[in-house]
Homo-oligomer: A and B are copies of this chain.
Amino acid sequence: MDNNKDLMKLIQNKFSRLSKGQKLIAEYILKNYDKAAFMTAAKLGISVGVSESTVVRFANELGFSGYPKLQKALQELIKNKLTTVQRLELSNDYISEENALKGVLKADIENIRATLEKINHKTFEEVVNKIFTSKRIYIIGLRSSTALAEFLGFYLNLILENVKVVGHGMSDIFEQMISVGEDDLVIGIGFPRYATKTIDALEFAQSRNSQVVAITDSLLSPLATKADFTLIAQSNMASFVDSLVAPLSVINALIIAVGMREKDKITTTFNALEEIWKDYNVYSYNLNNIEDR
């Protein structure tokens, strides 16, 4: 694990002595190491706007015998995800307290933009189809992904009748999934650092031959290796917080795509709810009402 941290630190330390073209590569890698890890030297050069040989010299500059060695180090770095402390240390240079608001919102815009490129649109359609053809749908998200799982479950429950969010409460995740089978769909949501229990649950779902969807940050994520369908959403944030903004946007899209097919059902449901909410005063209707209450 120390190697990974060393690589990022190494790039930062060498930074001032790099040529202008090499600096562009360095910046690109620090920000997009997950992409860079799977690019050839030529492709990386094109992305950054430098020649392939500049890329090779950059690898040499860092002490690698060639670009393939640097690439392998980058791939290791993704596999053995940085610990929270390491990410915190690296965040120093990008986001300061003064510009946290601006820096974070801009980084999140970039996260969504990158997601639009990375996510497989066809897989997205297949997942929407699976949601309609499966007998039961289980949603799992633990740790910070709990919020995403609850949000997805909240809306799908208003549209469909066979949706269950698992992983919290008195029962353990296996009791809640004890009757999962081959006609069911299990949606696992997990971002670095991946919770062991979510991976266990997906593994268990696969052992029962159910279909598995992973909503995660990369095809190399341990969730993806247990999944039939993987929806990629970028969660990069060079700090101790996982940004779940792009994942939440993908979940918005999933809910809306499902809702579009069941418009009449939703209209009926919400018309009924509006009546009940009015009767039981769940929502505030307008400013005047609130003042007068």
Question: What residues of chain A have their CB less than 8 Å away from a CB belonging to chain B?
Answer: 1, 79-81, 83-85, 88-89, 91, 95-97, 100-106, 108-109, 112-113, 115-116, 119, 121, 124, 128, 142-144, 146-148, 150-151, 154-155, 157-158, 161, 168-172, 174-176, 178-179, 193-196, 199-200, 204, 220, 222, 225, 237, 239-241, 243-246, 248-250, 252-253, 255-257, 259-261, 263, 266-267, 269-274, 276-277, 280-288, 290
Given that A83-B274, A119-B101 are known contacts, is A241 also in contact with B256, CB under 8 Å in the complex?
A: yes
What are the residues of chain B within 8 A of A119 when measuring CB–CB? 101
Name the B residues within 8 Å of A103 (CB-CB): 253
Contact A112 B116 (CB under 8 A): no
Given A155-B241, A245-B245, A283-B193, are A269 and B174 also a contact pair (CB < 8 Å)?
A: no
Smallest distance from the beta carbon of A258 to chain B beta carbons, Å? 9
Residues in B with CB closer than 8 Å to A263 are 88
**Residues of chain B contacted by A96 (CB below 8 angstroms):** 260
Copies of this chain per assembly: 4
Contact A237 B266 (CB under 8 A): no
User: Chain B residues with Cβ under 8 A from A271's Cβ?
Assistant: 85
Name A252's contact: one of B168, B241, B276 (CB within 8 Å).
B241
Q: Are A260 and B150 in contact (CB under 8 A)?
A: no
Contacts A171-B157, A256-B95; A112 near B102 (Cβ below 8 A): no
Contact A249 B245, beta carbon cutoff 8 Å: yes
Do A259 and B240 form a contact, CB below 8 Å, given A270-B88, A274-B84? yes
Q: Are B112 and A108 in contact (CB under 8 A)?
A: yes
With both chains docked as a complex, state the minimum distance between the C-beta of A176 and any C-beta of chain B, in angstroms. Answer: 8
In the complex, the answer to whether B286 meets A79 with C-beta atoms within 8 Å is yes
Pairwise interchain contact B172-A270, C-beta atoms closer than 8 A: no
Residue of B nearest to A271 (CB): B85
A239 to chain B, nearest CB (A): 5
Q: 18 new A-B pairs (CB below 8 Å) besides A88-B266, A104-B252?
A: A81-B286, A85-B270, A85-B271, A89-B267, A95-B260, A105-B112, A112-B112, A150-B169, A154-B171, A157-B171, A157-B175, A158-B171, A158-B178, A168-B168, A196-B282, A237-B252, A240-B266, A245-B249
